[in-house]
Structure 1
Amino acid sequence: MQRIPEGRGGGGGRGRRQPVLLQHGVLVDGMTWLLNSPEESLGFILAGRGFDVWIANSRGTRWSWGHVSLDSSDSAYWQWSWDELVAYDLPAIFDFVYQQTGQKLDYVGRSMRTLIALAYVFEGRLIDKLRSAASLSPVAYLTHMTTPIGILAAKAFIGEITTGLGIAEFNPKGMPVTNFLKTLCKNPGIGCYDLMTSFIGKNYCLNESTVEVFLKYEPQSTSTRNMVHLAQTFRDGSVSKYDYERKYMNMRYYGQTKAPVYKMSSIHVDVPMLLSYGGRDDSGDVELLLDSLKFHSPLRPRRLHHRRLRQGFRLRCYHPILQH
């Protein structure tokens, strides 16, 4: 964890500051909240507005390599997917910040970390420590993914191939993953001149100099199993726990032959939720998530707010507080 307890010049707040937790997406770390100027980096902006900013770094990234008994060179170190982040890491983070501050948290998650928060809320375990949740570029369903190399990699089940080759750590800068991506790039119709764009689509908000700064610090490693889990989400069209692909293995871990489904429509927590996504994004999966969440709370009879922001961004709010 990293903390920015106040902004420059004191941060403009009085008394106890409201804690806000920033959780990065997959293949990056907490540095992504701080790479721009203080006027353009969300971590610094929130600190300057009087928030007590906490930045989490997921296991396997540069600030979270430690382990009580395993080394990162051990394959066992990487035997986890976002299921473990839901079951162990996120509750540990929330407990730690709550113990330090004594206050409920505002949560801001990007990309896959929105999925983790939603799955955790689905299990009803954040109620007493969560004040609100904001999801930036929310990820849950992946059936409408449009980037060619992303689709090809998912269909190849990324990790199910690389696991067979003995790759437990998915390091985008490492030679095994680099060779794997080069193999994908040989397929017809896959343009890998700009690998970042090939994976995530054209970004209309980043200029060349910003991308250079980003690539100086990112990307970061994750587990191959985690990439497999995301590929399974694309393949199966549902949000489920990790599928061990063998009935007896699923029975061993889950007591049933199929991996259990996280039913987003069952989320009932009475907590303000905000989802934002780019207006140029393919919004099919976001719309699917919004439809799943529409009955998540007794507050649902209130109107679902849809506001258009500058540069084509869309904002969805599930609670009148967030209109302001």
Structure 2
Amino acid sequence: MMVDTRVRTFLIMIFLWLQDGMTWLLNSPEQNLPLILADKGFDVWIANTRGTRFSRRHTSLKPNEHAFWNWSWDELVLFDLPAFVDHVQQETGQKMHYVGHSLGTLIALGSFSEGLLVDKLKSAVFLSPIAYLSHMNTVIGALAAKAFVEMTELLGFAEFNPKMKLVTQFLDALCASPGVDCYDLVSAFTGKNCCLNSSTVDLFLQNEPQSTATKNMVHLAQTVRDGVLAKFNYGTADYNMMHYGEASPPVYNLSNIPHDLPVFLSYGGQDALSDIRDVQRLLDSFRAHDVDKLSVQYVREYAHADFIMGVNAKDIVFNQVVSFFQHHT
């Protein structure tokens, strides 16, 4: 049997906060990145985080057990993303390109900094990159980050289901806080998106949000509050010593990312989660990167969701991604 060598493996990851891979496909076929790439001859794989509707099976645990939810994005960095990449490589026998948006950038950066995956990739694309979150500038996001410790006391390390009564009450309380406007809940968390189609937003709200682990939300809140990219903080020096052999959680050192890995990074001027000051701090980690291996795009009018669902994302971002992959194939 002959193998068509024109088919190129392309790994597209979506690890968004409280969302799954379906979000990539909400725009029309000619306007969503996976199908654009498929039409260009790429072999497209879409992944989901554990706990979302398509990722709730386990070899021994069930979703109604607390142990099923005892994880944070550390486990995505160290286990889930490497396992998915290994699976794709075993199926295809090829190195691959990577795309992450939001949390998908965070876990890839963490994995790369730990020396994982980079030998299996041709290149990496980061859209609305999340690494540092010190300048996250939505009032509701800042309040949520401060309140998640209280949520842990109520829920424990269990499922964080945005549709369960306790969580909706929590969100209602945040939305009632001074200065918080939740009339448009998407914008309240992500910033003012310029270019979303109302029907796409309706589809988005029908499909999302999805469950995650409360521990994962706490870890993200720690990233906001502490201003460092570090592993989960168990709260005391003794507990951290038990897990890490150190009194404080180890830091992910992004300067360890190989300087010759082709990287394309695109960020927006209206993004409330991936604030431009935090992106600049991330870019500082790439100061020693090979100049011809790093491409940076700034889209002044874009907020967080525009990079996935923007009606003009094909012309502004996706065509650039395709060209980048073709250049580094």
Aligned match of 1:135: 126
Superposed displacement of residue 85, structure 1: 0.5
Do the aligned partners of 2:191 and 2:270 also contact (CA within 8 Å) in 1? no
The equivalences for 1:20-35 within 5 A come to 20-24=10-14, 25-35=16-26
Cα separation, partners in 2 of 1:307 and 1:177, compared to 1, 3 Å: closer
Q: Is the 8 A contact 1:191 1:198 kept in 2?
A: yes
Residues 54-203 of structure 1 correspond to what in structure 2 (within 5 A)? 54-156=45-147, 158=148, 160-167=149-156, 168-203=158-193
Letter in 1 for 2:150: I
Which among 247, 263, 266 is matched to residue 273 of structure 1?
263
Cα deviation for residue 15 of structure 1 reads 2.7
Partner Cα separation in structure 1 for residue 326 and residue 229 of structure 2: 29
Cα distance in 2, alignment partners of residues 180 and 49 from structure 1: 45
Question: How far apart are residue 268 of structure 1 and its match?
Answer: 2.5
Report if the CA contact (8 A) 1:122-1:266 is conserved.
Answer: yes
What SS class does the counterpart of residue 29 from structure 2 fall into? coil
Q: 1:227 aligns with which of 217, 222, 233?
A: 217
CA distance in 1, matches of 2:300, 2:39: 22
One-letter code aligned to 1:258? S
Q: What's the Cα RMSD here?
A: 2.3
The residue aligned with 1:19 is: 9
Cα 1:238/1:23, change in 2 over 3 Å: same
Q: State the shift of 1:279 in Å.
A: 3.2
Output aligned runs, 1:31-42, within 5 Å. 31-42=22-33
| Structure 1 or 2: more helix by fraction | 2
The CA distance in 2 between the partners of 1:134 and 1:101, in whole Å, is: 20
Give the match for residue 207 of structure 1. 197
Task: Give CA-to-partner distance per residue, 1:109-139, whole Å, 9 cap, x none.
Answer: 0101111111111111213211100001000
Partner of 1:291: 284
TM-score, normalised via structure 1 length = 0.88
The residue identity in structure 1 corresponding to 2:11 is L
Does the CA contact (< 8 Å) of 2:237 and 2:247 recur in 1? Answer: yes
Please give the alpha-carbon distance, in whole angstroms, between the structure 2 residues aligned to 1:165 and 1:216: 27
1:265 Cα offset (Å): 2.1
Distance of 2:82 and 2:326 partners within structure 1? 28
- Report the CA distance between 1:205 and its aligned residue: 1.6
State the AA in 2 paired with 1:267: I
- Which one-letter code corresponds to 1:290 in the other structure? L
After superposition, the C-alpha distances for 1:258-292 in whole angstroms (9 at most, x for unaligned) are 00000112322521011101233331111110111
**Matched residue SS, 1:20:** strand
CA distance, structure 2, for counterparts of residue 276 and residue 80 of structure 1: 29
**Displacement of 1:55:** 0.6
The gaps in structure 2 that reach 5 residues or longer are 308-315
Q: Structure 2 vs 1, CA of residues 311 and 15 (structure 1 numbering), >3 Å: closer, same or farther?
A: farther
| Pair 99,166 (structure 1): closer, same or farther in 2 beyond 3 Å | same
Name the counterpart of 1:7.
none
- Partners of 2:294 and 2:65 lie apart in 1 by 48
How far apart, in 1, do the equivalents of 2:248 and 2:185 lie?
35
Instruction: List runs of 5+ in structure 1 lacking aligned partners.
Output: 1-12
> 1:321, 1:209 → 2: CA distance?
30
- Count of residues in Structure 1 that have an aligned counterpart in Structure 2: 304
Contact 1:21 1:54 in 2 (8 A): yes
- Counterpart CA distance in 2 for 1:173 and 1:233 is 24
| Residue in structure 2 matched with residue 260 of structure 1 by the alignment | 250
SS at 2:125 equivalent:
strand
Higher relative contact order (CA 8 A, sep 6+): 2
Report the CA distance between 1:294 and its aligned residue. 1.7
Q: CA deviation at 1:305?
A: 4.9
In the alignment, the residues of structure 1 paired with residue 172 and residue 160 of structure 2 have an alpha-carbon distance, to the nearest angstrom, of 15
Identity within the alignment, %: 55
